[in-house]
Chain A
Amino acid sequence: MSGWAETALWIVTPYLTLLIFALGLVWRFRYDRFGWTTRSSQLYEHQLLRIASPVFHFGLLFVIVGHVVGLLIPEHWTRAMGITESMYHMSALVVGAIAGTCTLAGIALLIYRRRTTGPVFMATTANDKAMYVVLTAAILAGLLTTLLTSAFGEHDYRHTVSPWFRGIFVFQPDAAAITAAPWPYRLHTAIGMLLLAIFPFTRLVHAFAAPLTYPFRPYIVYRSRSATGGPPLTRRAPRGW
């Protein structure tokens, strides 16, 4: 790849992605709070959903934890904790493969359900379909890297992708580092950025509406009107002309 293309892909795009991601979420929150939802299809079909959704989501949780560990924790930290290279990779491979497979199986089942259940398919928008393509591609590419790592056992992404990733947050993205990674890694990273970029504009935003506080509060919530006034409870009257 030529120099400017490398710069564009691994230096400009990450910031663009983050910008779109952040501003997109703000925009969505301000203008489409009512649409901040997955538009649940549970009413139309629940038998498949009951299996597929947990498989996918719990798989995904482990995948996310894996990414956090793999990308954010430098190798020397783990080594300092006494975890050897082979131990790390073995656990990453086993946990990653299980989690990735669960996620993939989950989304496959979800997509199958979405396509074959008439009412669910009718409730599926073009936006949803595009999102599924990107999400599935990201998962497949991610699994590919895991499998390739195991197949060749040669490449250590903690020397290439991770430094580049951490560099983004200190405004020192190391394009050369990631360029050294094999193509499946770069492909997965690129798709990942795309996924983040479309995130605010798709049903994926429901990730930020996860009901984390539910277990910690009583089930009846009373909200009095704010004593200080606050925003009007009704829409401002239209101009009328």
Chain B
Amino acid sequence: MADVEGDPKAGPIEELLVRTGRFFTRATTSPDLHTVFKAGGREGDAFYRDRWSHDKVVRSTHGVNCTGSCSWKVYVKDGIITWETQETDYPSVGPDRPEYEPRGCPRGAAFSWYTYSPTRVRYPYARGVLVEMYREAKVRLGDPVAAWAEITTDAAKRARYQRARGKAGLIRVTWEEAVEIVAAAHVHTIAAYGPDRIAGFSPIPAMSMVSQAVGARFVSLLGGAMLSFYDWYADLPVASPQVFGDQTDVPESADWVDAAYLMLWGSNVPVTRTPDAHFMAEARYRGQKVVVISPDYSDAVKFADEWLPARPGTDGALGMAMGHVVLREFFVDRPTPRFVDHVKRFTDLPFLVTLHRESDGYVPGRFLTAADLGDGGEGAACKTVLLGRGGRPVVPGGSAGFRWTESGKGRWNLDLPTDPLLSLYGEHARTAEVLLPRFDGEPTALRRGVPVTQVGAHTVTTVFDLLLAQYGVSRPGLPGVWPAGYDDPGQPCTPAWQEAITGVPAARAARIAREFAETAERTGGRCMIILGAGTCQWFHGDTMYRAFLALTMLTGCQGVNGGGWAHYVGQEKCRPFAGWSLLAGALDWGRPPRQIPATPYFYLHTDQWRYDLFDAGRLASPLARGLFAGRHTAELVGRAVRRSWMPMAPMFDRNPLDLGAADDPVGYTLAELGAGRLRYACDDPDDPRNWPRVLTVWRANVLGSSGKGNEYFLEHLLGAGSGLPEPDETAPRGKLDLLLSLDFRMTSTTLYSDVVLPAATWYEKHDLSSTDMHPFVHAFNPAISPPWQARTDFAAFHAIAAAFSELAADRLGVRRDVVAVPYQHDTPSELGAFSDGEEGRGRGGFAIVERDYGAVAAKLAALGPLTEGAGIPVKGVTFQPGEEVAWLGRRNGVAAEGAARGRPLLDTDAAACETILALSGTTNGRLAAQGFAQLSERTGVDLHGLASGETRVTFADTQARPAPVGASPEWSGKEAHDRRYAPFTVNVENGKPWHTLTGRMHFFLDHEWMREYGEALPIYRPPLDLAALGEAGSGEGLLVRYLTPHSKWSIHSEYQDNLLMLTLSRGGPTIWMSPGDAAAIGVTDNEWVEAVNRNGVVVARAVVSLKMPRGTVYMYHVQERVVDVPLSETNGRRGGIHNSLTRLLVKPTHLIGGHAQLSFGFNYFGPTGNQRDEITLIRRRSQEVRYR
């Protein structure tokens, strides 16, 4: 046959040649002439075998701000890291669902490139002119601190090195010299200005807990300010504390499989949650329906059964319309028993709200409390009231008034003594017309009637009745103006009304809402909404979230496996939280630490407040009483600080150590304040006495990545050149004396730093990683020692501390520091505003902390006595880790001498890992059980079974394989081998209250400022119209919405400069736009464009893609200035980064404090650094680009 004899496709000549060739070789040729068999000749194999051979495999992970927390195998050959592959040994999640292994994505797989890359920081560097002046001054003055003082106080010298920031000129210095400069700067700053002029920024402890904690611990021991990150990143959903009284407690990704209905709202799971996306894909085999709401045809849309392309920033309207449908069909037309039961027990809907008579109608006021009923007992002002059967007011347990009072012991639970009335609606009910704000279009007031009754002197209604009015769900007989039906476009919040806003067809919106609720009814609440940065990071992101959360609460999905909210923005969950917080805050040596919300901090210190286009009243409710009218937002920040709602650094225009020198520091401080001699620093942030002086950035990239209003940082904080079109010449330039960064690669932040220390990578140190996506804690391990002169963050901060302590021992000695303490969430002070009145007790909240500056290094390296002496406070319980401290002393050794003599050592990163695990409830069941025992006593509910005292994860366990954590009062959900983690399951299944005012999930927020902003109830607030507010600036180009979503090719700035990832992406900065917009400005794909607005300039290449909606451009963040950034046409300076076009906008309602769940907590509650409302002009530029 032909196919045996030869290849029929081969020609006769080819066949002849091969046949001839057979006679010239000993090798055997197959009869069909396709194949020849030879023996030997495989010496070349050694090349590829060698290429893929290795000496050892080490477990580590990537300490990047990504929720992946994937464990990786790192391969080492001849002492060189060669490559990495995914670990596959995650504990099984059970037989009925997909497993976690393997986890990873192309970004992580590219990481080892950095180890030996050209961008690696190999040696300590310092700004050349600074070093020159420092050396000269040190020789002349003979003292490092005096040298630093001279350079930073001599205007000419100061300007010389500050102006040089970001303009290269970093020179190599020794570790000794670098550390000496840094130590001298710290000593001088503390002596001259005060410790609160020192700040540290290092986000996301979960991504490498010890590396974060060691620096935070150093800063805290000094009395410096650790800046928050979660709110600053605008990853913090403010709605979470508002509604749940808890910050971002969400299901692990394996719980997505439990969901029957999944909505992705502004979240692009395949791109930003790559290792977990398979759960979504696989859940569909169980019949799960996936609905994606995204303005662009995102990667997630490919997985969707339905895509609702709502216009950017209008998602809240869609959420409200869906809520309208759910309320109409599942509460009013056909009350659904499961839903009604759920909201009665677990939400504030049955609670009573007082109504106040205004000129032409009623407005909702505060919750009716026991105090209003004449109860004069403790906490009565914080005990909310509902109506029981027969209309009698009942004060159920569970509200905040039962949480912190002696008499509340055993009564802080969700037991209802009666079946509460959800609504007062009935045939004989009185009604009242309530005025409610609307913000779509020109803000005006709506008039809608609610049923009311009289309790004592108060006219009251329920939150549920108000909610129906807010959502426009009419009931016969109620006065006011109501929508005629779903297709009434004129009245909020009908499906037709939202169609005009979002572009989503009304019928589809209604159908999806109906499907969601029906599925929830039939599955017992297994409907989930995955939320992401696309909806969170707007100025009014909190209102959007409240509209979404309302859907999950109304349909009984919260606290249910497979249901509820799932917010994944930032690797927020540091599972061994208690141990980490103790170490990071140095709570074992002194309390409280200075922990400062970063958004108002940078808003003031980068002078972005000077550029506000409108006063705080501009965005207030049409029904506002005028609290904010004419008020600058910075003024409100000052008010929040004065009222102890929020801490700030610096606190006063005087060194807090000087205040501490008085005999009675607190009395003296109060007296000085009273006399007007002592002023709050935030009242005049531009006074040199009130400037921040030293900022240390590690594991972070403020100037390349997270710095909203990047050009303002450069202009005012650093004094370097900026791309600001019209800098305010009256504002200071160059506030910071020292910008210190620790990094393993050159970033925008290191390029602008004065001193750069070479850090170890994630393959070169011991540390711990965890995430909210999976329930494991696993280890970093060094595959190699830090190469060149790199050191771990741990070693670097110990070196700095040693140099500091030596310089400080005589110069600073032992001092007393006056620390202002805000009302803190999850402590009795969270009710401060109830007991102290709205004006707060700002003048009383001070603590005195002793600072032994010579002993900082010794304290840094040992676990202090307050660990067991005062316990570890976490979410209202206090762990007493006496046994653990003794064990740690035996395990890690104890300090032989000095200030920490006899205390367990924290002298290595591994010892610190061990300590964190030993002191956290999630990894130490004994402490978790302790915490649950305390909660049992408080709630009167038996919670003892939730944690096993046997659970114990040691560092070695996490090195062996990812170790599952146990349930703990640190979090709100249950952990067990046979169920996945979902938040609030303890609350729902065991009746433990939420950490809110009513103890239930909140629809209604009764703080005066919330009412002033028109956000007491869920509401639709459109994206800010910045064009109308003057943001666009002037110039040619097309005006577009400017969004900076998360990228497929990087995790923030990490990997965007990685050669492998640059090769996969287009490489260099790009802006994505629609073909229509591109045509409008005459741009074709890959051409250079320039985007310009009031804040700065960006030069990038255009990616013209059909996936983009018109009117919106994406600049995927974070494309830094280190790769392919040419000079701009606009100002001739180097084009900026994605944040060059953004500016901070502080939302006043985020400043609220001392009001139960609306109280300050570090990374729990604070103003967000939102940036999505931004707009820009974009135009084609000359295609001739120059780089210098």
Contact = CB atoms under 8 A, between A and B. Distances in A.
A231 B44 CA distance: 10
B38 A218 contact: no
A227 to B, nearest CB: 6
B285 interface: no
B46 A234 contact: yes
B49 A235 contact: yes
Nearest to A218: B36
Given A233-B49, A234-B49, A234-B53, A215 B39 contact: no
A225 B41 CA distance: 8
Contacts of B14: 215
Contacts of A235: 46, 49-50, 53
Interface stretch (B25-33, B553-561, B1056-1064): B25-33
Contacts of A224: 37-40
A228 to B, nearest CB: 8
B928 to A, nearest CB: 46
A215 B17 contact: yes
A38 to B, nearest CB: 18
Nearest to A220: B35
B42 A218 contact: no
Interface in A195-241: 213, 215-228, 230-235, 238
Interface residues of B, number: 28
A34 B21 contact: no
A214 to B, nearest CB: 9
B937 to A, nearest CB: 60
B1106 interface: no
A90 to B, nearest CB: 35
Interface string B44-78: 11110110010000000000000000000000001
A33 interface: yes
B625 interface: no
B1063 to A, nearest CB: 13
Contacts of B78: 238
B769 to A, nearest CB: 31
A236 to B, nearest CB: 9
A221 B36 contact: yes
A26 to B, nearest CB: 16
B890 interface: no
B38 A216 contact: no
A34 B51 CA distance: 13
Interface in A11-63: 33-34
B21 A213 contact: yes
A225 to B, nearest CB: 6
B34 interface: yes
A234 B41 contact: no
Residue of B34, B40, B78 with highest tally of chain A CB at under 10 A: B40
Contacts of A227: 39-40
A220 B34 CA distance: 6
B603 to A, nearest CB: 46
A116 B34 CA distance: 42
A226 B21 contact: no
Interface string B10-30: 000010011011001100011
Contacts of A228: 40
Contacts of A232: 46
A232 B53 CA distance: 14
Q: Interface size class for chain A?
A: 20 to 34
Interface string B597-640: 00000000000000000000000000000000000000000000
B43 interface: yes
Contacts of A238: 78
Nearest to B20: A216
Nearest to B43: A231
Q: Is the interface of A mostly helix, strand, loop or mixed?
A: loop
Nearest to A234: B49
Contacts of A231: 43, 46
Residue of A215, A218, A230, A234 with highest tally of chain B CB at under 10 A: A218
Contacts of A218: 18, 29-30, 33-36
Contacts of B36: 217-218, 220-222
B25 A217 contact: yes
Contacts of A216: 17-18, 20-21, 24
A225 B33 contact: no
B53 to A, nearest CB: 7
Nearest to B35: A220
A235 B34 CA distance: 32
Residue of B25, B46, B78 with highest tally of chain A CB at under 10 A: B46
B17 A222 contact: no
Contact of A222 (B20, B25, B35, B49): B35
B14 to A, nearest CB: 7
B17 A34 contact: no
A223 B35 CA distance: 11
Contacts of B30: 218
Contacts of B40: 223-228, 230
A34 B17 CA distance: 29
A100 to B, nearest CB: 31
A179 to B, nearest CB: 45
A39 to B, nearest CB: 16
Nearest to A227: B39
A33 B44 contact: yes
A226 B78 CA distance: 29
Nearest to A221: B36
Interface string B1082-1094: 0000000000000
Contacts of A34: 44, 47
A173 to B, nearest CB: 37
Residue of B25, B30, B37 with highest tally of chain A CB at under 10 A: B37
Contacts of B44: 33-34
Contacts of A215: 14, 17-18, 21
A235 B51 CA distance: 10
B295 to A, nearest CB: 37
A221 B35 CA distance: 6
A233 B42 contact: yes
B17 A223 contact: no
B64 to A, nearest CB: 31
Given A223-B39, A226-B39, A233 B46 contact: yes
Contact of B50 (A213, A221, A234): A234
Given A231-B43, A233-B49, A217 B37 contact: no
Nearest to B24: A216
A130 B43 CA distance: 32
Contacts of B42: 223, 225-226, 230, 233
A218 B40 CA distance: 18
Nearest to B47: A34
Contacts of A233: 42, 45-46, 49
A218 B18 CA distance: 6
Nearest to B36: A218
Nearest to A213: B21
A128 B709 CA distance: 49
A107 to B, nearest CB: 31
Contacts of B18: 215-218
A219 B14 CA distance: 11
A221 B21 contact: no
Contacts of B33: 218
Contacts of B29: 217-218
Given A217-B36, A226-B40, A234-B53, 14 more contacts: A215-B14, A216-B17, A217-B18, A217-B21, A218-B18, A220-B34, A220-B35, A224-B39, A225-B42, A231-B43, A232-B46, A233-B45, A233-B46, A235-B46
Which are the 6 A-B pairs with shortest beta-carbon distances?
A216-B21, A226-B40, A220-B35, A235-B50, A215-B17, A234-B49
Interface of B: 14, 17-18, 20-21, 24-25, 29-30, 33-47, 49-50, 53, 78
26 contacts: A33-B44, A215-B21, A216-B20, A217-B21, A217-B29, A217-B36, A218-B35, A218-B36, A221-B36, A222-B35, A222-B36, A222-B38, A223-B39, A223-B42, A224-B38, A224-B39, A224-B40, A225-B40, A227-B40, A231-B43, A232-B46, A233-B45, A233-B49, A234-B46, A234-B50, A238-B78
